[in-house]
Each structure stands twice: as structure tokens, then as C-alpha cells.
């Protein structure tokens, strides 16, 4: 069942969204690629639960920048876990139905976006560097130029991420300011710190890099 903080997105016809937290019993005390292979089966099940297949799954490579691509119209490369990713981007946007966007996080913030009027949607990976480069503002501008979205019609949600005192930078606060500056009509911060609850969340900082990844998802069902 999707977290309550995603409900404003789920109220939009056809939109499906979820956040897959820490999975008990999955070994993650290894390198990132091996951890992701261990997590792949459970994450694939989450994709299917939302009504999609892996062939409809689009994922950003995540390089801690602010580049955003259009899912369904961008080239992909194969990642170490055997699934394709859109290279050199930290965000994806789409308007077409039948696509599911995905990113992984383990302290960085997942930002979900959805236009309540025209059905466009997006998903961003915004950590320290991505926030400094204002990936949220970049994505909103692209949704305007590519899909004619009005910022006031866009709902934004910030998921669990690391926060003070566990991290010296309060990038969640900066993201909230960026949402206001971008003119988003609605923005929700779940106000949850990943490093404060290792029973439910992975934390790259708290676990010294030996950890898994949570998965954020948003998509639009076919024919919506």
C-alpha cells in the first residue's frame, strides 16, 4: 500500500505512485551493484503491483546532477543490475500513459511531480548536489516547455531523506524553498529522516556506504 503522503498524487486519474522502503532479510553489506541485484526481485514485484511490467519501467542513471529527460523518448544504456537506464540524468518526466518512472535513493530525496490537469508526471533524485543545482526548478521548467504544464497545476511531494542533525545540510528545506520559487500549486514534505530510522530506511551516511536503496515510482496506467 502506497504511503499516505503520496495520496495527493494518487487522486489524479490514472496516476500510480509508491515508495519501497527497506526490505528485511535482504543482504546489503556489499557494494552497490551487488545490493541492487539482491533487491531486484522485490522491486520487480512492486512494479507489477502497480499494474506495470519491467518493459514499461524507465529509470534515471543518477549522476548527482540536474539534467532531466523525457521518458519514452530517450536512449538508454544497460546498468550493472541488468536493467536499462537513461544515462547522465537524475530526473525523468513524461506525459504518455503506460510508462513507469523509477529512481533509487538512500538519503537523497525523491521528488514526485504530477500535473493535476494535463496528467504529466515526473520523478527526481535530489540530494546535496542535485538540490544545489535546482533539479526541481529544471524539471518544472521542462514540464512547462514540453507539456505546457502550469506550475500552479503541479503537485510535488518530497519523500524520506537525510536531515539534520544527521547531515550538515538541510537540503529538504532548500527543496521546499525551490518548490515555492518554481510556483508549484501544492507541495508536500513527508518530513521523515532516513538516518533516524534504519529499521525502515536505508541510509548511505549512517551505514557508511554499505547499504541498499529505496525505490520511488510514479507512472500513468495505459489508456488513462
* 120, 90 contact by CB (below 8 A): no
Angle (CA) 16-17-21 rounded to 5° is 150
In a domain, 94, yes or no: yes
List, for residues 50-62, the tens digit of each pLDDT value: 999 888 989 999 9
Q: What is the CA radius of gyration of the chain?
A: 16
Q: How many domains does the chain have?
A: 1
List, for residues 110-164, the tens digit of each pLDDT value: 999 999 999 999 999 999 999 999 999 999 999 999 999 999 999 999 999 999 9
pLDDT at 42 over 70: yes
In a domain, 48, yes or no: yes
Question: What is the domain extent for residue 59?
Answer: 4-219
Least confident of 22-31, 89-98, 166-175, 215-224: 22-31
In a domain, 113, yes or no: yes
In a domain, 128, yes or no: yes
User: Per-residue pLDDT averaged across 184-213, rounded?
Assistant: 94
- For residue 121, the SS3 value is strand
Q: DSSP assignment of 89-120, as one string?
A: -SEEEE-SSSEEEEEEESSSEEEEEEETTT--
pLDDT at 224 over 70: no
pLDDT at 201 over 70: yes
- For residue 140, the SS3 value is helix
Total-model pTM? 0.94
So what's the pLDDT on residue 33? 67
- For residue 72, the SS3 value is coil
The enclosing domain of 137 has a CATH number of 3.60.140.10
pLDDT at 174 over 90: yes
In a domain, 224, yes or no: no
User: Per-residue pLDDT averaged across 8-20, rounded?
Assistant: 96
Rounded distance between C-alpha atoms, residue 140 and residue 111, angstroms = 11
Rounded distance between C-alpha atoms, residue 170 and residue 122, angstroms = 23
Amino acid at each position: 500500500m502506497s504511503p499516505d503522503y503520496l495520496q495527493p498524487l494518487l487522486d489524479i486519474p490514472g496516476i500510480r505512485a509508491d515508495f519501497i522502503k527497506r526490505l528485511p532479510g535482504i543482504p546489503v553489506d556489499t557494494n552497490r551493484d551487488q545490493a541492487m541485484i539482491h533487491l531486484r526481485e522485490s522491486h520487480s514485484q512492486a512494479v507489477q503491483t502497480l499494474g506495470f511490467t519491467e518493459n514499461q519501467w524507465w529509470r534515471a542513471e543518477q549522476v548527482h546532477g540536474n539534467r532531466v529527460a523525457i521518458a519514452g523518448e530517450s536512449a538508454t544504456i544497460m546498468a550493472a543490475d541488468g536493467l536499462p537506464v537513461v544515462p547522465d540524468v537524475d530526473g525523468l518526466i513524461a506525459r504518455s500513459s503506460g510508462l513507469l518512472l523509477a529512481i533509487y535513493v538512500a538519503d537523497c530525496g525523491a521528488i514526485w511531480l504530477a500535473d493535476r490537469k494535463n496528467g504529466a508526471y515526473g520523478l527526481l533524485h535530489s540530494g546535496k548536489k542535485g538540490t544545489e543545482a535546482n533539479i526541481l526548478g529544471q524539471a518544472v521548467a521542462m514540464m512547462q516547455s514540453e507539456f505546457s504544464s502550469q506550475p500552479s497545476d503541479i503537485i510535488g511531494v518530497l519523500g524520506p531523506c537525510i536531515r539534520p542533525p544527521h547531515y550538515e545540510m538541510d537540503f529538504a528545506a532548500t527543496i521546499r524553498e525551490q518548490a515555492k520559487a518554481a510556483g508549484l500549486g501544492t507541495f508536500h514534505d513527508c518530513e521523515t529522516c532516513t538516518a533516524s530510522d534504519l529499521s525502515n530506511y536505508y541510509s548511505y551516511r549512517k551505514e557508511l556506504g554499505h547499504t541498499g536503496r529505496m525505490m520511488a515510482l510514479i507512472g500513468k496506467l495505459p489508456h488513462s
